[in-house]
Structure 1
Amino acid sequence: MSEICSKCGLPKEICACQAIGKETAQPIHVYTMKTRFKKLVTVIQGIAANEIERAAKELKHKLACGGSSKEGRITLQGDHRSKVKEALVKLGYPEEIIKMR
């Protein structure tokens, strides 16, 4: 017996809740900033609160870096602007909503 989605009531195989949520999401902003001791970090803002932990874990794994997710944003150690957009698209976020600064 397949699992049922708690949001829409459809079987998980045909559930579209995750895709719909990502398509209607707010813009995702990606930028770098300097922290203490002049270290660069990549900051990602705009990912939904219920997906931020999973997205942070996937990004840290794919980009082979450390990081955290606090206060509604993901912080990755190092300058990963060139790779983050591609990684977010692979996670299912539309390319049009990802804004690079």
Structure 2
Amino acid sequence: MLNICPKCGLPMDLCVCESLNQEDQRITISQESRKWGRVVTVVTFNSEVENLKKLLKKAKTYCASGGTTRENAIEIQGDHRIKLKKFLIKQGFPEENIEIARRR
């Protein structure tokens, strides 16, 4: 029995929904200060990402840090802006769609 994608109706082997979603994303990477001066890197997506939890798990492993998801954003403990940009490019997101914002 073949698994069928609920969005495009194609078999999962031929599904292109995830790659189309990645190409349309506008991503902002910023740094925020939390209470007691802790620094958090926030990766904000302009629209919903299908596998945000899986992406978070890979990002936490890549940065060797803790983190969480909030709405359409990933929060990683510490200043990992440059490292996360490289990580997202490796994951297939276009470099021209990723912006590193100044500190908030």
CA deviations over 1:35-75 (Å, ceiling 9, x no partner): 11111110111162533222212211221110111132211
Do the aligned partners of residues 70 and 85 (structure 1) sit closer, same or farther apart at CA in structure 2, a change above 3 Å counting?
same
Gapped runs of 5+ residues in structure 2?
none
In structure 2, C-alpha distance between the alignment counterparts of 1:88 and 1:45, rounded to whole Å: 12
Q: Could you list the per-position Cα deviations for residues 11-37 of structure 1 after superposition, in whole angstroms to 9, with x for gaps in the alignment?
A: 222211110111122x11001111111
Residue 32 of structure 2 corresponds to 33
C-alpha contact (below 8 Å) 2:21/2:49 kept by paired residues? no
Note the alpha carbon deviations across 1:64-95, whole angstroms, 9 max, x for none: 11011113221100110111011111222111
CA distance in 2, matches of 1:5, 1:38: 44
Q: RMSD in angstroms over aligned alpha carbons? A: 1.6
Identity %: 36
Equivalent residue, structure 2, for 1:44: 43
What stretches of structure 1 of length at least 5 have no aligned partner? none
Q: Distance in 2 between matches of 1:60 and 1:89?
A: 16
Q: Residue in 2 aligned with 1:87? A: 87
TM-score (norm 2): 0.84
- Return the alpha-carbon distance in structure 2 between the equivalents of residues 57 and 35 of structure 1: 22
